[in-house]
Amino acid sequence: MSSYNATAQHTSPDPNTMNYPKTKKVEVTDTYFGTPVKDPYRWLEDDRAADTKAWVEAENKVTQNYLSKIPFRSDIKKRLETLWNYEKFTAPFKEGAYTYFYKNDGLQNQYVLYRQKDKGTPEVFLDPNKFSKDATTSLAGIEFTKDGGMAAYQLSEGGSDWRKVVVLNTADLKQVGDTMIDVKFSGLSWKGKEGFYYSSYDKPNEGSQLSGLTQYHKLYFHQIGTKQSDDMLVFGGDKTPRRYISGGVTEDDRFLVITAAKSTTGNELYIQDLSKPGSPIVNVVNNFDNEHYVIDNIDGKLYIYTNLNAPNYRVVTVDASNPSPENWKDLIPETENVLNVSTAGGKIFANYLKDATSLVMQYDMEGRLERTVTLPGVGSASGFNAKKAEKELYYTFNSYIYPPTIFRYIIASGQSVEYKKPGVSFDPSLYVSKQIFYTSKDGTKIPMIITHKKGVELNGKNPTLLYGYGGFSVSLTPAFSTSNIVLLEQGGIYAVPNLRGGGEYGEKWHLAGTKMNKQNVFDDFIAAAEYLTSNKYTSKDYLALSGGSNGGLLVAAVMSQRPDLFKVALPAVGVLDMLRYNKFTAGAGWAYDYGTAEDSKEMFEYLIKYSPYHALKPGVSYPATLITTADHDDRVVPAHSFKFAARLQEYHNGASPALIRIETNAGHGAGKPTAKIIEEQADKWAFMLYNMGLRYQR
């Protein structure tokens, strides 16, 4: 592969000649604390309306017409298909007499779930590619009974968060009972073989099933052999209205553990002793100020993972008969590094984040450190979980230049053995991935990992993708991407900063990017772009910004604040109307991070200032923009992207395109078929390079 030729090969067409669809405007005004706010594109919020569907069709036609004229678009798609076409496996897990694993032959739209007894020949257990003709129905989770005799699995149709649940006998694969419907944001947790706990909402009475507001979660118990309509409400509903509720049974079947939350941060904790019929549900933590999860139970001694009085998390123990926080005792105390935790083989695995990379330590159940796990390098390790009786586990390790490799880990000795190496066409020795620290606007040091080919000349002309998220305590740890090879192998640069709002440095880091601190996140991203340009990795003519969901908000907010800083913007499935995000689906649950326009005059004024839909200004030249969303996204409804695109096309005054690509029969991202992923990635890279005036070298 030769490197890019940075000489401009074309001039992007003037948007005034692109014939964007004429988007009608309506007279709609909301008043917040005496301030009127016009919302002329409100009508696009109705995803069922004929005129919205016509608008989507017209916008997609303009976008596809533009993309089809990029001369190397098909070359990139072919390259992605070649890169993607290798056997991919997930780490195996044991259920009953079988070992299960997911496998994709290469370009299969959905991973297939296989099982294998001892060293016998693997057989197909579930093939989601056969769930629907167009492979848009995906397997969205599966849980087995303790003996492995039954399994309950979730189906997502068209990427929707609303799920169906099917129960089957694993011996003959015959379905047990009817298919359950209308399950959302739910785990499945078996109580013996009697049945399982699951969560859902009442379906919205008004408006669309995909955009209607979902208010209160309910935890149910489904008894095998009975109708779903007879399922018992365990927790939630009118008596205890909570937005998110989950229920899980400890491995010994002793306790039902319930977590309940009003937003995406902080939860109450409850337990119920299942060994004594009629036992009450006991409150352990009665507020939403912190997070707490029961990770194990041994003879009535609960092991709890929490950030109460420990922003970087700790593990405590307490007697289940008197479980309130004043009785908690430290087992694994808080450290300077953020703790994640799991159990396997009667051990606790502490997976610490050290500057956004993995450091794994193995403890016994008394809190004694047994060893630090030797990892293959600096990167991300995941999967240190298995049942108590297991003697081994399987974990996956990867980084930006280390393809996901599965290791078998012997718990007693701490020995790691390479189990499965991916066959992706990528030579890590040709690339470098290094972490630097740069200074944000207020002096805060921010880590960023920069990945590129060895020997790349820092001349300011390298096409660079700056990717970010910065919210909901999500940590961006090093992760290999097959799609990114297209950029890297030709001399491009991929950069990922760990912005405030994430969880890389614990709850303090998260809170520094929430509510009226949200501008910190945008400042951190802007400072990352300035670092890359001032250090000659790239320049504004060769820099693209990318992010999805809360990261889509990040990209769109930054492009409205600093349109001069970069050439291309790629906001995906973004939260773009900050005054109305809480009116749709589970959006109200994001208020802990964002605040709402109804909270106070001060909060409203803060939100409208950065809200991408409202921050766009007439007559400004914005970067070349390709907004991506999907018609079945019921997490961040597509109305956000629709309204933002309409206003961007109205206001934008420059020689770069402002386009929206709307995937049909797809959702927020999970379960998307391989073919759709490749098409979207090819369009993204083609749009980015074309608008930088670059060629793709085959």
* Residues involved in catalysis: 549, 668
**Could you tell me where the DSSP H helices lie in 451-597?**
485-488, 506-511, 519-534, 550-561, 591-594
- Is residue 649 within a helix (H) or strand (E), and if so which, with residue range? helix 639-651
Sheet holding 281-285, edge to edge: 244-249, 255-261, 268-273, 281-285
Phi then psi for residue 147, to 5 deg, are -85, 0
- Is residue 249 within a helix (H) or strand (E), and if so which, with residue range? strand 244-249
Task: State the Cα–Cα distance between residues 114 and 103, nearest whole angstrom.
Answer: 7
Task: State the Cα–Cα distance between residues 569 and 620, nearest whole angstrom.
Answer: 15
Contact 138, 670 (CB under 8 A): yes
Phi then psi for residue 646, to 5 deg, are -60, -45
Task: State the Cα–Cα distance between residues 446 and 527, nearest whole angstrom.
Answer: 9
Of residues 360, 381, 378, 377, the one with CA closest to residue 369: 360
Using N-to-C axis directions, what is the helix angle for 550-561 and 601-610, rounded to 10°? Answer: 80
Contact 89, 406 (CB under 8 A): yes
Q: Are strands 292-298 and 301-306 parallel, antiparallel or unpaired?
A: antiparallel
Task: State the Cα–Cα distance between residues 415 and 402, nearest whole angstrom.
Answer: 20
Contact 383, 404 (CB under 8 A): no
Q: How many CB atoms lie within 10 A of CB 580?
A: 22
For the chain, how far is it from start to end, CA to CA, in angstroms? 7
**How far, in Å, are 262, 315, 436 from residue 361 at the CA level?**
33, 13, 25
- Is residue 687 within a helix (H) or strand (E), and if so which, with residue range? helix 674-691
- Hey, what amino acid is at 193? K
Number of H helices, E strands in the chain: 11, 39
Q: Which residues contact 506 (CB under 8 A, 6 or more apart)?
A: 307, 311, 312, 313, 338
Contact 315, 324 (CB under 8 A): no
Q: What is the CA radius of gyration of the chain?
A: 25
**How far, in Å, are 289, 420, 465, 485, 543 from residue 494 at the CA level?**
37, 26, 5, 10, 10
610 DSSP 8-state letter: H
Of residues 490, 519, 520, the one with CA closest to residue 610: 519
- Hey, what amino acid is at 174? K
Of residues 573, 639, 585, the one with CA closest to residue 44: 639
Task: State the Cα–Cα distance between residues 239 and 230, nearest whole angstrom.
Answer: 19
Q: Is 523 helix (H, G, I), strand (E, B) or coil?
A: helix
Contact 574, 644 (CB under 8 A): yes
**How far, in Å, are 337, 369, 410, 413, 416 from residue 362 at the CA level?**
15, 6, 12, 11, 13
Task: State the Cα–Cα distance between residues 431 and 127, nearest whole angstrom.
Answer: 36
Contact 123, 116 (CB under 8 A): yes
